[in-house]
Amino acid sequence: MSTTTFEAVETGAGSAGGTRLGWALADSWTMTRRELLHWARQPVQVVVGLAFPVMLLLMFGYLMGGGLGIEGNYREYLVPGMFALTMAFGLDATMVAVTQDLNKGVVDRFRSMPMTNGAVLVGRSAADMLQSLLSLIILMGVGLAVGWRWHGSFAAVLGAMGLLLLLRFAMLWMGIHLAMVAGKPELVMAVQILVWPVSFLSNAFATPESMPGWLGAVVEWNPMSATATAVRDLFGNEGGVSTASWASEHASLLAVVWPVVLVAVFFPLAVRRFGRLSR
């Protein structure tokens, strides 16, 4: 028994380039599968995670919708904002998951095994993106149910979804890095609390024009606002790209640039940090 298993392990980690890539993919899939198994074992947690943004959307749409001073159909304005907000809140979900993982002994075992180094992070990333896609589809369904419509082409809809998931991807790597820097659940809680005001300091619920000048400027430059504006534009909803300001005029560009910059910064930081857990 001992010799046979050993041979398998030896060939498994073979040095050929193709095999290495093959195992990297296999390891990444194993780690993604681990997250999916968690979902299967804790369906309630998954449902709560998916229901939370739906609850926020209904709350803002019905409870506060009247009071926010948006002309026209507020839900047409709000719903795309809620999509962006949900993507931004993903930061929080990722951080909690990473912190929980790192504080468990299981990551030590992963790191003492001959598996591909980054597979743990890739697994997290794949699972979170899948969850966000699911969440977005559900939220779009609820949006349609409460009267939101898209007026653009199907390609524009897909483009909007792409921009939203791009924002989520940026939040993902930011979250992984911040979780590793913070390390302890208590510090993660501080970031979790900060996610709220930062997300609300956007144009998700109200237009920057309705705010005091300085606040409106801050709000316009929030990466989340750029995504919300660009997405509203693609869906053909109110509050799309306008000439009200430079940021608003170039929202579509910013909706790509912001997340790409965030990923360019936090992806290498996160990967390096993970590799340096050994110091």
Cα separation, 277 vs 279, whole angstroms: 6
Q: Which of 24, 30, 187, 269 forms a contact with another protein (CB under 8 A)?
A: 30
- For the bound state, the minimum distance from the C-beta of residue 94 to another protein, rounded and expressed in Å, comes to 17
> 28 near 123, Cβ under 8 Å?
yes
Q: Is 15 exposed, middle or buried (0-12, 13-18, 19+ CB in 10 A)?
A: exposed
CA distances, 175 to each of 97, 99, 195, 222 (Å): 9, 10, 11, 17
**CB closer to another protein out of 8 and 63:** 8
Main-chain phi, psi angles of 277, to 5 degrees? -60, -15
Amino acid at 216: G
Residue nearer to another protein on the CB measure, 45 or 153: 45
Distances (CA, A) of 208 to 78, 222, 256: 13, 11, 20
Q: How far apart are CA 185 and CA 189, in angstroms?
A: 6
| The binder of another protein chosen from 21, 42, 196, 261 (CB under 8 A) | 42
Among 21, 25, 33, 260, binds another protein (CB under 8 A): 33
Determine the size of the site formed for another protein (CB under 8 A): 34
36 is a contact residue toward another protein (CB under 8 A)? no
Residue recorded with tokens 């040095």: 15
Residues numbered 6 to 25 that lie near another protein (CB under 8 A) are 6, 8-10, 12-13, 23
Q: Residues 21, 62, 69, 104: which binds another protein (CB under 8 A)?
A: 104
Q: Between 32 and 207, whose beta carbon lies closer to another protein?
A: 32
The least distance separating another protein from the CB of residue 25, rounded to whole angstroms, comes to 12
With a CB cutoff of 8 Å and minimum separation 6, the contacts of 176 are 94, 95, 98, 121, 124, 125, 266, 270
- Site map for another protein, 116-145, x if CB under 8 A? ---x--------------------------
Q: Tell me how far apart the alpha carbons of residues 171 and 244 are, in angstroms, rounded to a whole number.
A: 27
Q: Which of 68, 111, 130, 198 binds another protein (CB under 8 A)?
A: 111
Least Å distance, CB 54 to another protein, is 25
Q: Which of 16, 43, 44, 112 touches another protein (CB under 8 A)?
A: 112
* 272 lies in the binding site for another protein (CB under 8 A): no
CA–chain centroid gap for 120, Å, is 17
Q: Which of 88, 115, 140, 234 binds another protein (CB under 8 A)?
A: 115
Distance CA 249, CA 246 (A): 5
Q: Exactly one of 21, 51, 59, 106 binds another protein (CB under 8 A); which one?
A: 106
Which residue type sits at 129?
M
Please report, as ranges, the residues that interact with another protein according to CB under 8 A: 1-2, 5-6, 8-10, 12-13, 23, 26-27, 30, 33-34, 37-38, 41-42, 104-106, 108-115, 119, 277-279
